[in-house]
Structure 1
């Protein structure tokens, strides 16, 4: 086949030859232009449009419907308060988001942003246009980061608006029983959503690593979800505090420490630092893998062995190093849950909630100091050590009623989870915690002492 340079002209004569003209240098494509191009490509996908729509509609619909019902998700933190305050619904949504939903969203965005070029076979066209693998990687990573952060906006707004429209803005007790005003609640709810952004970005970076490492293979798309499931198993088991704090999933539950007074921010602070470290390392590993890749292989499906060596092992090393550092710095061993902590937390929560119940019943005002509440707990009888999580904790709270002779007792069965959260279920007397409703001047209201959630500071010695 002849080219235009050696093809005869229309008169049958050879094309004139002369000294070659200097070739003008091709204009380089900047990061901003490639970033805009990748962002438009992402937002044009129908599945991302569906995800945005779901984030905007589903939380509001869920909180609006559930908040108007009598059957509430009492197993979730603040679930039993959804029909009392609109802010509770947003916190319940946040519980569901942190388990698998946020990692799943990062799979849809970051887990496919490089692999889509492998499936469509467009790497050669993109490289010819941009001529810089580093520029391509940076633009795609920034586009994925932008879309991931943008998903938080409809999630937060929708989860708050649904409950506020149906129930309204009202105070609720904190996880130590003290009453949190509506104004303070608004700030704490927004701050709680902000604290889950760093761990979400860590899973987004893991998605980048999986997308780069496995090419067309669906393993890359599933990588954030796989990591989330494995790390959630660590949190479900009675693992040592150091291992729990060394995972980027820790902030998904550690934000609850913001709802105590004083705030329990130790686990949250460590979790945020760990999340940033995971995000940085995973992004670097993805970048190193990308710039070393052979783009001439159109059938690239990645290598599980290469991913294990260049991707998985460094992350495992970071996990081990972080756990060792946390154990050394904090000096806390074991689960971080023991009898003394539970007794102190339960007595404090009971005092705050007793005062709240006293106010609802329009009784003479009293303070927590007047009650002088104490608690005595036991786990599983005399043959079981009083440490660690479990649903076999039994506690007796003792307090002094102002103006009455002697003291009073209340029994609670505690279900203590490995993350330090516990649910106290009242077991008498019926006048204090025997019924789930109390009769107030304005009608029936939830009995704050019937069932309530508490929180143990795992890092406290």
Structure 2
């Protein structure tokens, strides 16, 4: 029976709701889906709780250095891991196999006879895979938050500008960060549907979302112009860090959310067109062949070119976005906030950012060459003033900036300020907030204010 014959059948068609329920039952009947859902709701919380209690924390991960002091940090560390590894893998297993499974089992003709509408079959399978992916993402978020809060507590969280976020503010921003990664997750799910339809029973369809996610991650490691970086659908997996600055760096995140949703819609529409054009009477069907390029690769490549052009025309920066003045502004603001935190730790007289008048002078590569771009060769000298003291204080930082605008500032003295990872407080030794800190350079200067 062909798709045309199924559409023109006299018998009544199965409602989408019944088809969706049937597809959900089939998905959850698979042991690997049940195991993955269970793992998403239990394993992250256990891992976050255990790691938060360790003396050695994952300081190389964003917010990892704060896992022992705020329960919200563990969920954000988990979010960084999920965006790089877990979510691409989950979308591959669910969306990348939802159509190919029927090819391997040879059940398309039976399904068409039962449902009598290829359009409704596609809608039911796409919605079912989306529902399962959303359940998994919700489990990752809830489990990570619960594990961190129960193990450490819902204490305030230090943001990427050194500012201390209240418990309520931190909770809201963590939830927004998890919601923002739904857009690139949907883009990968749409690409998974396209690969599952286009490649048939081939196992390559299962790998398409993971391979695409890996390629996007490699691109983000390159010193690309800001316009190209924002036009790649996976950038929202890391752009959520702009939520944890004051003011929030919202423009890059919102731009990429729109781009990711456009990719999700385009990939799903292409999969729908390929599915309707398929001849279900061919029992030896093993992929769409040339149609993969015509209805898959070329349209998505065109979408990338268009989105890059639109972003380039609407943003003022075509370079890396990491310049001397933006690095200096970010480092000085973060230092001022963290200096006040250290002051409270040591029970010294309170001081405000206005009184400190902190500033930073940063150079790249010893002042040789262009003073912009990522690298581990940034060196910043921070100066500040204390009320009643004529001489300005100075501290040195070695700054490693990555192409996406994140950086780590490593203290290089003096010892009593930032040269040691502990400070001696009246309550005992405590982590020194000025020893190392993470920050975020604003790639789009128009987002300020």
Alignment of 1:110-259 (within 5 A): 110-259=95-244
Q: Which moved more, 1:257-266 or 1:171-180?
A: 171-180
Paired with 1:349 and 1:252, the residues of 2 have a C-alpha distance of: 23
Alignment of 1:251-330 (within 5 A): 251-330=236-315
Instruction: Give the counterpart of 1:425 among 404, 410, 427.
Output: 410
What do the CA deviations read for 1:46-88 (whole angstroms, capped 9, x no partner)? 0001101111222112111111111111111110111111111
Structure 2 partner of 1:435:
420
Does the aligned pair in 2 maintain the 1:373–1:399 contact within 8 Å?
yes
Does the aligned pair in 1 maintain the 2:362–2:378 contact within 8 Å?
yes
**Secondary structure of 1:249's match?**
helix
- 1:460 and 2:445 correspond: yes
Paired with 1:301 and 1:441, the residues of 2 have a C-alpha distance of: 71
Instruction: Give the counterpart of 1:28 among 5, 8, 13.
Output: 13
- 1:409 and 2:394 correspond: yes
Paired with 1:199 and 1:84, the residues of 2 have a C-alpha distance of: 30
Q: Which moved more, 1:105-114 or 1:150-159?
A: 150-159
Paired with 1:160 and 1:427, the residues of 2 have a C-alpha distance of: 34
Structure 2 partner of 1:60:
45
Deviation at 1:305, TM superposition (A): 3.3
Does the aligned pair in 1 maintain the 2:45–2:147 contact within 8 Å?
yes
- 1:376 and 2:340 correspond: no
Q: Which moved more, 1:379-388 or 1:276-285?
A: 379-388
TM-score normalised to the size of structure 1?
0.93
Does the aligned pair in 2 maintain the 1:104–1:224 contact within 8 Å?
yes
Structure 2 partner of 1:7:
none
**Secondary structure of 1:391's match?**
strand
Runs of 4+ displaced beyond 3 Å:
none
Does the aligned pair in 1 maintain the 2:200–2:288 contact within 8 Å?
no
Deviation at 1:128, TM superposition (A): 1.0
Deviation at 1:382, TM superposition (A): 3.1
Paired with 1:88 and 1:329, the residues of 2 have a C-alpha distance of: 34
Structure 1 partner of 2:6:
none
Bigger radius of gyration among the two = 1
Paired with 1:75 and 1:311, the residues of 2 have a C-alpha distance of: 37
**Secondary structure of 1:430's match?**
coil
Does the aligned pair in 2 maintain the 1:214–1:300 contact within 8 Å?
no
Deviation at 1:26, TM superposition (A): 2.7
Instruction: Give the counterpart of 2:329 among 322, 344, 349.
Output: 344
**Secondary structure of 2:362's match?**
strand
TM-score normalised to the size of structure 2?
0.96
Structure 2 partner of 1:109:
94
Paired with 1:304 and 1:69, the residues of 2 have a C-alpha distance of: 52
Paired with 1:163 and 1:135, the residues of 2 have a C-alpha distance of: 42
Structure 2 partner of 1:334:
319
**Secondary structure of 2:396's match?**
strand
Matched length: 438
Does the aligned pair in 2 maintain the 1:115–1:215 contact within 8 Å?
yes
Deviation at 1:227, TM superposition (A): 0.7
Deviation at 1:383, TM superposition (A): 2.4
Does the aligned pair in 1 maintain the 2:410–2:435 contact within 8 Å?
yes
| Runs (5+) with no aligned partner, structure 2 | 1-8
Does the aligned pair in 1 maintain the 2:66–2:158 contact within 8 Å?
no
Paired with 1:363 and 1:127, the residues of 2 have a C-alpha distance of: 75
Deviation at 1:437, TM superposition (A): 1.1
Structure 1 partner of 2:4:
none
Paired with 2:191 and 2:416, the residues of 1 have a C-alpha distance of: 53
**Secondary structure of 1:336's match?**
coil
Deviation at 1:304, TM superposition (A): 4.7
